[in-house]
Structure 1
Amino acid sequence: MNSINRYYLPAEQWSSCELVLKGDEAHHCVRVLRQKVGDWIVVFDGEGSSVKCQIVSADKSRVVLEPDGKVEMQARGLELHLCQAIPKAGNMELIVQKAVELGVASIQPLSTENTVAKADAKKVQKLQRIALEACKQCGQNWLPEVSDAVSVKAWLEQRERHELEIVAALDPRSEDMATALSGSGTISSASLLVGPEGDFSQNEYDAVITSGFKPVSLGNIVLRVETATLYCLSVMRYALRSN
């Protein structure tokens, strides 16, 4: 059985009688995927809701849909927030894609003292598009926001705090990850902070730990940045799955 294609329509553009895809989504539907009148698709709003629809009219700039009347709401569960120092060689794109598949609630790119790669506004827009495409592909109805890149210092001054905050750390103060997670109890939000290839500086470690992040060790093998991030997200999602 073929999978049904999914499209994004922001919640403020939903109505009870008809839904309309415009712009890039209409173009992707008609020109790229060659959908036509009578086809069934799924529309999601990025805030947990989705609905199966039938195409009733279509051109490259406007696709009118008739919902089947059964809006489904995807449970949010644990809000897991990723704070990621920007890695080299395009690996941020891989991290964003896989982090969305692992159900993150938000992604904050960070510039550190040892960061080589940068993320300007154009790059952040591309990362947001990658997050959207990952939602379409994996069936995730919650679209994470990819925030503008900021320095660690600026981020610490204005960041949102969460019930459990972990930094993957090559630091003597680190404890085993299993130990750090075992005493977390029932929580609804958590954040993961991962540094760049050259690691955080000592001043940055001191600042993030003082701010409330718990340093954890990932074992004796030094992992690449993208491996460390996806490993931590997977472990946290599994360990905190009952929440």
Structure 2
Amino acid sequence: MRLLTLAICSLPLLLTACDKPAEKADDEPVLRVGAIPDGYPHYFKEGDTIKGFSADILNAVAGKIHYKVEWVTSDWVGVLGSLETGKVDTVGNFADTPERRKKYDYSAPYYYSAAQLAVSKNNTTIHGLQDMKGKTVAADLGSNYAKVLKEFDPKNEIKLVTFEGMDVVVNSVAQGKVDAYVSGQVILLGQIKHKNLPLKVVGEPFGLKQVALPFRKDARGEALKQKVDVALGELRADGTLKKISEKWFDRDLSVDTELTSVSKRQ
């Protein structure tokens, strides 16, 4: 009889525990994002927090689809490997190109990126692409900017070399071992200012590309892409993409400036 009484008395407690909702953080599905820890202004680590332009975009997207972002950091080669093997769901600041579309499905674009050249701050002979004939240009290993440069070098008059790690590239250019460095315009401007690098950008930006979020061609990737597309559409419509861009770059890079210029001329 005593055992029955204890069981009956314990029943409300058991039911209360079962009915208690789980913590919100535990309920949220996870969006795994690959990032480099020193990729200012797109990603950089401050304490235990990942910050930056693309980090703000990913956090805004995750908020819209009610996911929690899990950052997976490594060097750029490791980021690409993690995306390919499915260790991460997506990567920010990854140009949408026909070649990459063979492997990945892309979301709607969230900003537009142009390439630019940087040289030693003491260089007085290189002022842009027109001065690069017979010169050597360095690019980050796995970067799309090397391919963009090749698009503007149809006669193959520029020698292209790749290095793993921005520090190696910067030192090579600053010491005159390499004539120039090709990368994203906003990356170069941001890194030179943020780190006080001994480089300067030269010439006009070139090879404007749309940048979107890549997803693997599988069931999870397809489902995430559909959700992200809706979220990006809402963030564009409510002005969030524009606001984040202006926060980091003092300009709206969420629109295709080439198309905008054409429409204004017509």
TM-score (norm 2): 0.26
Q: Normalising to structure 1: TM-score of the pair? A: 0.28
